[in-house]
């Protein structure tokens, strides 16, 4: 019989034995648990789940999203469902009093689709058309029954087509005919003159998405004033890259609108920057709701009123009036001015965009002054804002 105790020698893999009396935590190798801060669905009381889902925060988000969606539908359908010409400007070129008689007849059409004036200077009238100061020129032949209508499809195919439709009806009622000549046609790659509209949308979408991602990642307000300035710098750098990228796509790559590369870069920079700084300002003021307000401005209101799919004169109110004063419409006008209209009124279009940039910067700085320099005491910490956004 062996003198050694009957015991199994410890395995080399088990390590040293714990001292006597020590607490040993036994873990099952199959046990799985959520990460810290999370829990299993079965561990959450159903009442708590329903209380959160049906609480004011979630109901408010649901109502807000629904309102933006309905506004989107109403704005686009309202602007585009029944386009009708309103005061399309036309010069009537005819000798003597014949032009005045035709202009008076055109101005008397029910619904006021045309705004006509007479002139005997054909060259001046055509020059106005080339600069976008008119939508058409009607050259009357007093000795015959066939007139000539000069249009500019570069201002938008919808506008020139509407002009042709009106004059075909007018001429037919007078037992006359009209031939159409496109004096300022769109470039071959710019079908229906819509490239300017779509590239402007792209620049603006990139701008407010950039600012939105900054806000979602770092909170609606930066932690200090230096970080606010860095956000603005980041948006400016992105705007520069966005301007170059958009110009490369529509000019160098697709050859949709060519010959004005650096002018397009500048317009794209200003448009992207305007969307970014306005969105930053709205986020600083309203938190995550500011992103929704930016969507309302740049998408719900801005896109249908921009004069892209339909020219301003074909839209009903309020889209016809607000279009030129939003970055979308000002951007489309600026691109068309540079590419087709010999830079006519370019500085006024750029001025509108600059005003939006100034308004966004002012909003950012005012909120910063209110938060960082002791003018407001009830400020939620950025960390808490970010936590609230994530939990929502």
pLDDT tens across 165-189, in order?
999 888 888 888 999 999 999 999 9
Interatomic CA distance for residues 312 and 302, integer angstroms: 12
User: In this structure, is residue 24 part of a structural domain?
Assistant: no
Range of the domain at 313: 191-391
Could you tell me if 216 and 118 lie in one domain?
Answer: no
What's the pLDDT score for residue 25?
Answer: 55
- Is residue 385 very low, low, confident or very high in pLDDT (cuts 50, 70, 90)? very low
Could you tell me if 139 and 259 lie in one domain?
Answer: no
Could you tell me if 300 and 226 lie in one domain?
Answer: yes
Q: What is the DSSP letter of 32?
A: -
Interatomic CA distance for residues 143 and 149, integer angstroms: 16
User: In this structure, is residue 304 part of a structural domain?
Assistant: yes
Given a cut of 60, whether residue 3 has pLDDT beyond it is no
Residue 280 has, within 13 A of its CA and on its CB side, a CA count of 34
β pairing state of 114-119 and 88-93: parallel
User: In this structure, is residue 70 part of a structural domain?
Assistant: no
- Region at 278 (left for phi over 0; alpha for psi -120 to 50; beta for the rest): alpha
Segment 58-67 long-range contacts (CB within 8 Å, at least 24 positions apart)? 58/392, 61/392, 64/289, 64/292, 65/292
User: In this structure, is residue 277 part of a structural domain?
Assistant: yes
What's the pLDDT score for residue 113?
Answer: 92
User: In this structure, is residue 19 part of a structural domain?
Assistant: no
What's the pLDDT score for residue 82?
Answer: 87
pLDDT tens across 79-113, in order?
888 889 998 999 999 998 888 999 999 999 988 99
Could you tell me if 112 and 250 lie in one domain?
Answer: no
Q: What is the largest CA-CA distance in the chain?
A: 141
Could you tell me if 228 and 343 lie in one domain?
Answer: yes
Give the residues across from 181 on adjacent strands.
150
- Cα 162 to the chain's mean position, in Å? 26
Alpha helices in the chain (DSSP H): 46-53, 56-80, 98-107, 122-130, 157-173, 195-218, 225-247, 261-286, 289-295, 319-322, 327-339, 346-372, 382-391
- Is residue 39 very low, low, confident or very high in pLDDT (cuts 50, 70, 90)? confident
Could you tell me if 334 and 382 lie in one domain?
Answer: yes
Token pair for 276? 């970014």
Task: Please name the residues in contact with 218: beta carbons below 8 A apart, sequence gap of 6 or more.
Answer: 227, 231, 382, 386
- Is residue 283 very low, low, confident or very high in pLDDT (cuts 50, 70, 90)? very high
Given a cut of 90, whether residue 358 has pLDDT beyond it is yes
Please identify, among 157, 182, 207, the residue that sits at the C-terminal boundary of a domain: 182
Mean pLDDT of the chain: 86
Given a cut of 50, whether residue 386 has pLDDT beyond it is no
- Region at 37 (left for phi over 0; alpha for psi -120 to 50; beta for the rest): left
Interatomic CA distance for residues 3 and 7, integer angstroms: 12
Given a cut of 50, whether residue 384 has pLDDT beyond it is no
Q: What is the domain-level CATH number for residue 161? A: 3.40.1710.10
User: In this structure, is residue 28 part of a structural domain?
Assistant: no
Given a cut of 60, whether residue 360 has pLDDT beyond it is yes
When comparing pLDDT for 380 and 144, which is higher? 144
Please identify, among 150, 182, 214, the residue that sits at the C-terminal boundary of a domain: 182
User: In this structure, is residue 134 part of a structural domain?
Assistant: yes
b vs e for 205-221, b when ≥16 Cβ sit within 10 Å of the residue's Cβ? bbbbbbbbebbeebbbb
Could you tell me if 215 and 102 lie in one domain?
Answer: no
Measuring CA to CA, how many Å separate 355 from each of 147, 231, 271, 272, 348? 44, 20, 11, 14, 11
What's the pLDDT score for residue 107?
Answer: 92
Could you tell me if 293 and 148 lie in one domain?
Answer: no
Interatomic CA distance for residues 315 and 111, integer angstroms: 13
Query: Number of folded domains in the chain?
Result: 2
Could you tell me if 272 and 376 lie in one domain?
Answer: yes
Compute the residue count for the chain. Answer: 392
Given a cut of 60, whether residue 27 has pLDDT beyond it is no
Task: Please name the residues in contact with 254: beta carbons below 8 A apart, sequence gap of 6 or more.
Answer: 189
Percent of the chain with pLDDT over 90: 58
Given a cut of 80, whether residue 392 has pLDDT beyond it is no
Token pair for 348? 């006024």
When comparing pLDDT for 195 and 35, which is higher? 195
Look at residues 308, 357, 359 and name the one whose alpha carbon lies nearest to residue 334. Answer: 308
User: In this structure, is residue 62 part of a structural domain?
Assistant: no
Given a cut of 70, whether residue 5 has pLDDT beyond it is no
Given a cut of 90, whether residue 369 has pLDDT beyond it is no
Q: What is the DSSP letter of 185?
A: P
Residue 50 has, within 13 A of its CA and on its CB side, a CA count of 3
Could you tell me if 213 and 280 lie in one domain?
Answer: yes
Could you tell me if 199 and 236 lie in one domain?
Answer: yes
Comparing 65-69, 351-355, 359-363, the range with the smallest average pLDDT is 65-69
Could you tell me if 229 and 369 lie in one domain?
Answer: yes
Place of tokens 């686009």: 76
When comparing pLDDT for 12 and 211, which is higher? 211
Please identify, among 136, 159, 182, the residue that sits at the C-terminal boundary of a domain: 182
């Amino acid at each position: 019989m062996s003198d050694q105790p009957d015991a199994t020698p410890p395995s080399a893999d088990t390590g040293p034995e714990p001292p006597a009396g020590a607490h040993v935590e036994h873990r099952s190798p199959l046990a799985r648990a959520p990460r810290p801060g999370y829990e299993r669905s079965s561990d959450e009381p159903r009442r708590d789940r329903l209380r959160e889902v049906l609480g004011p925060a979630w109901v408010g988000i649901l109502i807000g999203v629904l309102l933006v969606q309905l506004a989107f539908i109403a704005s686009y359908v309202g602007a585009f469902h029944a386009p009708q010409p309103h005061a399309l400007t036309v010069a009537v070129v005819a000798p003597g009093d014949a032009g005045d008689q035709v202009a008076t007849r055109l101005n008397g059409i029910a619904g006021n689709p045309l705004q006509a004036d007479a002139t005997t200077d054909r060259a001046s009238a055509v020059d106005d058309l080339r600069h976008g100061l008119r939508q058409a020129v009607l050259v009357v032949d007093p000795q015959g029954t066939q007139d000539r209508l000069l249009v500019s499809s570069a201002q938008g195919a919808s506008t020139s087509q509407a002009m042709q439709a009106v004059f075909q009806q007018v001429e037919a009622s007078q037992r006359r005919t009209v031939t159409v000549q496109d004096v300022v046609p769109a470039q071959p790659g710019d079908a229906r003159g819509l490239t300017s509209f779509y590239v402007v949308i792209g620049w603006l979408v990139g701008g407010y998405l950039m600012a939105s991602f900054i806000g979602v990642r770092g909170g609606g307000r930066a932690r200090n004033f230096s970080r606010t300035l860095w956000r603005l710098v980041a948006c400016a750098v992105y705007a520069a890259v966005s301007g170059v990228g958009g110009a490369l796509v529509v000019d160098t790559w697709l050859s949709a609108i060519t010959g004005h590369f650096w002018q397009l870069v500048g317009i794209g920079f200003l448009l992207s920057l305007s969307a970014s700084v306005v969105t930053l300002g709205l986020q600083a003021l309203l938190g995550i709701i500011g992103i929704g307000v930016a969507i309302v401005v740049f998408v719900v209101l801005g896109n249908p009123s921009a004069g892209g799919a339909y020219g301003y004169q074909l839209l009903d109110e309020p889209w016809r009036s607000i279009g030129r004063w939003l970055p979308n419409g000002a951007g489309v006008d600026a691109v068309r001015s540079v590419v087709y209209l010999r830079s006519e009124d370019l500085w006024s279009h750029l001025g509108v965009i600059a005003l939006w940039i100034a308004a966004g910067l002012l909003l950012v700085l005012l909120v910063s002054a209110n938060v960082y320099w002791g003018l407001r005491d009830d400020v939620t910490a950025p960390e808490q804002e970010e936590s609230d956004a994530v939990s929502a």
